[in-house]
Structure 1
């Protein structure tokens, strides 16, 4: 049985996405985020709730991000590089507080299965519910869509505020003949939701091969492998055609330089749905979208996270 090393980074919420990216870039076999707010503010319907809050595992301030490496990895180098890069986030304008980095041993059986007891179905909207593959769930409504996920530890549960905001936007804007690109697909949940909402063609892209595998597994779990194409790709590099809708739930630091490329890959009047935007960065993203000839249709907020729905306007000759 494989012995795993679990690195835990306790840090303030604002740094969570950046630290998760650092773990991925260091080669972590999985990343988990324990955020008390995800539990306290999760939408609840009756007794259905995604998680049960274990007070011992969730700090009152900040979050805990965990990455997993094997005993064969250079753990000293990983520890040094992790510490250096996390502290360096302050140089990029990300405030760092509550920082504590620790390492512990985890057996593969514990890592793979123990967390599953906390994961239950959650109603993201009136029309869509996310259900773990090992749970039994009966529809509340005839027109309710079910997304089955095996989230593992790499890409979360599909219920982070940014993902919820994107799903809500897809529910509003996807139309039957839509061609959609899901950029930075992660678990594939947005691609699955887009298909269930009626998109005609869905393509999912992610730079991370682990994400591509995860997305393919979840798409297969929903029996949509013949309808959704998943590819490893750096954003939309070398993609030559255009879509009616582009959805991108990625970091603000990636969104900003991606905006011109998103414009180029949209049909006239096409929609750009983007999230992963912390509240403090909202104005910067909106200003950049307007500067690149997007009209802002909606700005939606959940907790400290924002999603922007923008429409491509044809540039004047």
Structure 2
């Protein structure tokens, strides 16, 4: 049996947070490699040497990581894809946890890209949408569904994660022709582009990661959507007042597929972006924080109209 050795690079302070993140994804058998253990080893064995190579010190500086293993087969590749998608969302809210970069020891990055494409197939979501990887578009029969074409690369949303699917299902229910939509934490742009394909007249999208700018615009172009209808910005909407001003208001729908802490931070401020009786769709909420987030939303004046859940993740439709 072949195995993939997966590393998530963090820092000493982020080890427990990343370990809990992986546990939330059902990955509990991990190995922790911590820079502090290296320095403790040096201190405890100082009498054994009088020189340590500077290159080794540089290599170990800040080097903390969590290692886990997946079988090198279809299920392992699918699992790896889920972790990558969730990690991209997690990274946006945990800048204090270091690089949060995923690497593989037993597989070249270009081989991973090829393998992932092999297992990423068109997905029917809800009753209307069909998410299609760009490399499958010419051989896919949409069967009356709305095609949503994506080339997500290695680090952005693909539609396969439960949190994204919950948002897409909600958008399918609430987006009306002519609506304007704001997507906070857009990643690949999948949610805002889906809203446009479902009939929205315009959409704006924001992400803290500037890599998302090109990816979202490229995915929009794959769906025949130009910058006349779709605008993407980068920045932290929680703290950047200039960005908040640029976003303006009068959106029919605001969607945020992020993490619980960011949703709690957004809850008091989202209403300024919405028209009266506009809707706030939020997802990315793991089950053990669902009640906490629901209570936080209600304290901020939101009524939860609908709750969706799948595979241990929750999403709320609020007004």
Both proteins in one fold, TM over 0.5: yes
Q: Within 2, Cα distance between the matches of 1:242 and 1:158? A: 27
The match for 1:27 is none
Q: Within 2, Cα distance between the matches of 1:117 and 1:282? A: 34
- Normalized against structure 1, the TM-score is what? 0.68
Q: Within 1, Cα distance between the matches of 2:314 and 2:280? A: 14
- State which of 206, 220, 234 in structure 2 corresponds to 1:232: 234
Contact 1:179 1:245 in 2 (8 A): yes
Contact 1:215 1:230 in 2 (8 A): yes
Which SS does the other structure have where 2:216 is aligned?
A: helix
Which SS does the other structure have where 2:317 is aligned?
A: strand
Q: Within 1, Cα distance between the matches of 2:105 and 2:69? A: 16
Which SS does the other structure have where 2:181 is aligned?
A: strand
Contact 2:249 2:275 in 1 (8 A): no
Deviates more, 1:239-248 or 1:157-166: 239-248
Which SS does the other structure have where 1:115 is aligned?
A: helix
Which SS does the other structure have where 2:141 is aligned?
A: coil
Structure 2 CA distance for partners of 1:125 and 1:102, relative to 1, 3 Å: closer
Matched, 1:138 2:158: no
The correspondence of residues 294-309 of structure 1 with structure 2, limited to 5 A, is: 294-309=302-317
- State which of 23, 48, 54 in structure 1 corresponds to 2:74: 54
The match for 1:74 is none
The match for 1:193 is 194
Which SS does the other structure have where 1:237 is aligned?
A: helix
- Normalized against structure 2, the TM-score is what? 0.67
- State which of 233, 256, 277 in structure 1 corresponds to 2:285: 277
Shift of 1:15: 6.3
Shift of 1:212: 1.6
The match for 1:250 is 258
Q: Within 1, Cα distance between the matches of 2:163 and 2:197? A: 19
Structure 2 CA distance for partners of 1:134 and 1:274, relative to 1, 3 Å: same
Structure 2 CA distance for partners of 1:34 and 1:198, relative to 1, 3 Å: farther
Contact 2:166 2:308 in 1 (8 A): yes
Structure 2 CA distance for partners of 1:265 and 1:56, relative to 1, 3 Å: closer
Structure 2 CA distance for partners of 1:275 and 1:34, relative to 1, 3 Å: farther
Residue deviations 1:274-316, cap 9 Å, x none? 00011111111111111111111001111100000000xxxxx
Q: Which has the larger radius of gyration?
A: 2
Shift of 1:206: 0.9
Q: Within 2, Cα distance between the matches of 1:159 and 1:102? A: 21
Structure 2 CA distance for partners of 1:287 and 1:65, relative to 1, 3 Å: same
Structure 2 CA distance for partners of 1:270 and 1:57, relative to 1, 3 Å: closer
Aligned residues: 244
Contact 2:78 2:116 in 1 (8 A): no
Contact 1:181 1:245 in 2 (8 A): yes
Structure 2 CA distance for partners of 1:65 and 1:191, relative to 1, 3 Å: closer
Shift of 1:102: 7.7
Contact 1:8 1:65 in 2 (8 A): no
Structure 2 CA distance for partners of 1:35 and 1:107, relative to 1, 3 Å: closer
Structure 2 CA distance for partners of 1:293 and 1:171, relative to 1, 3 Å: same
Deviates more, 1:107-116 or 1:119-128: 107-116
Shift of 1:174: 0.7
Gaps of at least 5 residues in structure 1 are 17-32, 37-51, 68-81, 87-100, 312-317
RMSD of aligned C-alpha atoms?
Answer: 3.5
Q: Within 2, Cα distance between the matches of 1:58 and 1:130? A: 16
Shift of 1:57: 5.1
Q: Within 2, Cα distance between the matches of 1:200 and 1:209? A: 25
Contact 1:183 1:247 in 2 (8 A): yes
Residue deviations 1:104-159, cap 9 Å, x none? 27545324433211111111122111111111201212xx1001111111114222
Q: Within 1, Cα distance between the matches of 2:205 and 2:222? A: 16
More helix by share: 2
Which SS does the other structure have where 1:264 is aligned?
A: helix
The match for 1:73 is none
